Amino acid sequence: MSRGRQGLDDTSSATLAARLARYSRAFRYKSLPAEVIHEVKRRVLDSLACAMGAWQAPPCRIAREVAQSVMVPGGATIWGTEHQTSPDLATFVNGSFVRYFDFNDTYLSKEPAHPSDNIAAVLAAGEAVRASGEQVIAAVALAYEVHCRLCDAAALRPRGWDHVTYGAFSSSLGAAHVMNLSLAQTEQAVNLAGVSNIALRQTRVGVISMWKACAFANAARNGVFAALLARQGMTGPAPIFEGEKGFMPLVSGFFELPLMGGETTPNGDSVPFKILDTYIKPVPVEYHAQTAVEAAVAVRSELLEAEGVDALTEIEDIEIGSYDVAIEIIGRDPEKWRPATRETADHSFPYCVAVALLDGKVTLRSFTPKRLSDPAVHDLMQKVRVVPASEFAGLYPHAMPSRVTVRTKRGKVYCRQIDHPLGHPRRPMSDREIEQKFFRLTAGKMRPSQVERVIETVWALERIAEINDVMPLLRIHRR
């Protein structure tokens, strides 16, 4: 036996990487509850909607052009095209599509996350090995589970690291699972994913750049690359989490990972799966702004009904009551009051609430260059104050309340508070509402009959013999 092969076969059952590898290898589609399978399909459909909608966006175009410079027949498809490239590059470009609009799903815990960012990795790796729909569903559910449990275990943001850092681990496990790597190979994929993919939180501070759309896509690209290397026999540093210079001492702090979905508690109960606790977005803004937008729309309606169409010009003061995490992310930096980029605007309490008050809604058109420079929006933003609401302390992440209070020049006050936005597990979007989101985001890019076919295929994903058969359905016909 060669030295490299011997290293691959060496595992330590006591490490977290080994535990994650064992969990991945034992994960089975047949063991998934029907509701989990259905939620995976809902997330796939929602993510494809986001991806097709963002296909022409500048960072997505850049990522696509880079990936199209590499041709790998039998590799993985760049969505919207016939071009096949390496699975890791396909993950990068397709993941950028999913993430660009900040419209894909969310999970909020000690560390926030967008677990659907893992889907591009699973589909690319699955396509490379001609995986079945059942295998893809299981791998997506696994990636969600690992990603969300890591977010439950330890916060990265206070230490200066970006939440996408956890994505390298979850996407490597999703890829390893769909590629059917051995136990030892899977553990090495985790080791390799963790050692060189630590992302800086600067991505989300101050002026937010195009990279925001690509940050998790890059983590997932590296996760897939780690799985590809491990499949060929590459080993990685261990123990990656607990080691002297490992992830816990240097990045996250020490933590205990709780039981995961499908595992059994001491009482004999099966642990529920985390995908059931994730949130689909009805509005294309950072998740902490969802309740603020909904509250602002309700205030606007009440204001106009009481004072008429000119009431918006009479607004003197706007107060957004929120909680510490939301204020830190979207209501603190000076740039939030003068956003120059789409990426900053959709992470801005003042901008999102001002547009909601002016227009009665927030859509993709709310972030065009013309709207970003609109004097009416900028004037209204300067009337916004973001304040901590003491009664909201301790409610996050079980609730993410926002209270919007508008005071007019006549001294009248209009106020609305929303605790859980539409799309939250307590107020879930219906399957039909997700389908309608898909229709809206693919308008002008796909034929209606094509859209219907994609929707039908995703709802029947477990019956797909090879995930490769889905890719031709995603081709963009009007660019």
pLDDT of residue 183: 98
Same domain, yes or no: 303 and 342: yes
Tell me the one-letter amino acid at 373. S
Assigned domain for 447 exists: no
Same domain, yes or no: 206 and 310: no
Q: What is the mean pLDDT of residues 167-193?
A: 98
- pTM equals 0.93
pLDDT of residue 6: 35
Assigned domain for 475 exists: no
Same domain, yes or no: 68 and 190: yes
- Tell me, what CATH number does 133's domain have? 1.10.4100.10
Q: What is the mean pLDDT of residues 140-155?
A: 98
pLDDT tens digits, one per residue of 343-400: 999 999 999 999 999 999 999 999 999 999 999 999 999 999 999 999 999 999 899 9
Same domain, yes or no: 170 and 68: yes
Query: Binning pLDDT at 50, 70 and 90, where does residue 478 land?
Result: low
Same domain, yes or no: 269 and 295: no
Pick the last residue of a domain from 221, 253, 277: 277
Alpha-carbon distance of 219 to 167, in angstroms, equals 6
Pick the last residue of a domain from 392, 418, 444: 418
Percent of the chain whose predicted confidence (pLDDT) is above 70: 97
Query: Binning pLDDT at 50, 70 and 90, where does residue 177 land?
Result: very high
**Statement: residue 172 has pLDDT above 50:** yes
SS3 of the chain: the string is CCHHHHHHHCCCCCCHHHHHHHHHHHCCHHHCCHHHHHHHHHHHHHHHHHHHHCCCCHHHHHHHHHHHCCCCCCCEECCCCCCEECHHHHHHHHHHHHHCCCCCCEECCCCCECHHHHHHHHHHHHHHCCCCHHHHHHHHHHHHHHHHHHHHHCCCHHHCECCCHHHHHHHHHHHHHHCCCCHHHHHHHHHHHHHCCCCEHHHHCCCCCCHHHHHHHHHHHHHHHHHHHHHCCCCCCCCCCCCCCCHHHHHHCCCCCCCCCCCECCCCCECCCHHHHCECCCCCCCHHHHHHHHHHHHHHHHHHHHHCCCHHHHEEEEEEEECHHHHHHHCCCHHHHCCCCHHHHCCCHHHHHHHHHHHCCCCHHHHCHHHHCCHHHHHHHCCEEEEECHHHCCCCCCCCCEEEEEEECCCCEEEEEECCCCCCCCCCCCHHHHHHHHHHHHCCCCCHHHHHHHHHHHHCHHHCCCHHHHHHHHCCCCC
pLDDT of residue 9: 41
Count of domains observed in the chain: 2
pLDDT tens digits, one per residue of 29-63: 999 999 999 999 999 999 999 999 999 999 999 99
pLDDT of residue 309: 82
Same domain, yes or no: 171 and 302: no
- Tell me, what CATH number does 403's domain have? 3.30.1330.120
pLDDT of residue 207: 85
Same domain, yes or no: 313 and 294: yes
Residue owning tokens 């750049």: 209
pLDDT tens digits, one per residue of 78-129: 999 999 999 999 999 999 999 999 999 999 999 999 999 999 999 999 999 9
Same domain, yes or no: 236 and 328: no
pLDDT tens digits, one per residue of 312-329: 999 999 999 999 999 999
Query: What's the mean per-residue pLDDT of the chain?
Result: 95
pLDDT of residue 12: 58
Alpha-carbon distance of 131 to 243, in angstroms, equals 34
Query: Binning pLDDT at 50, 70 and 90, where does residue 8 land?
Result: very low
Same domain, yes or no: 194 and 156: yes
Pick the last residue of a domain from 227, 259, 277: 277
Same domain, yes or no: 292 and 271: no
pLDDT of residue 401: 97
pLDDT tens digits, one per residue of 216-235: 999 999 999 999 999 999 99
pLDDT of residue 3: 32
**Statement: residue 272 has pLDDT above 80:** yes
Span of 22-36, 138-152, 306-320 with lowest mean pLDDT? 306-320
Tell me the one-letter amino acid at 409. K
**Statement: residue 4 has pLDDT above 80:** no
- The range of the structural domain enclosing residue 257 comes to 3-277
By the 10 Å C-beta count (0-12 exposed, 13-18 middle, 19+ buried), 233 is classed as middle
Query: Binning pLDDT at 50, 70 and 90, where does residue 284 land?
Result: very high
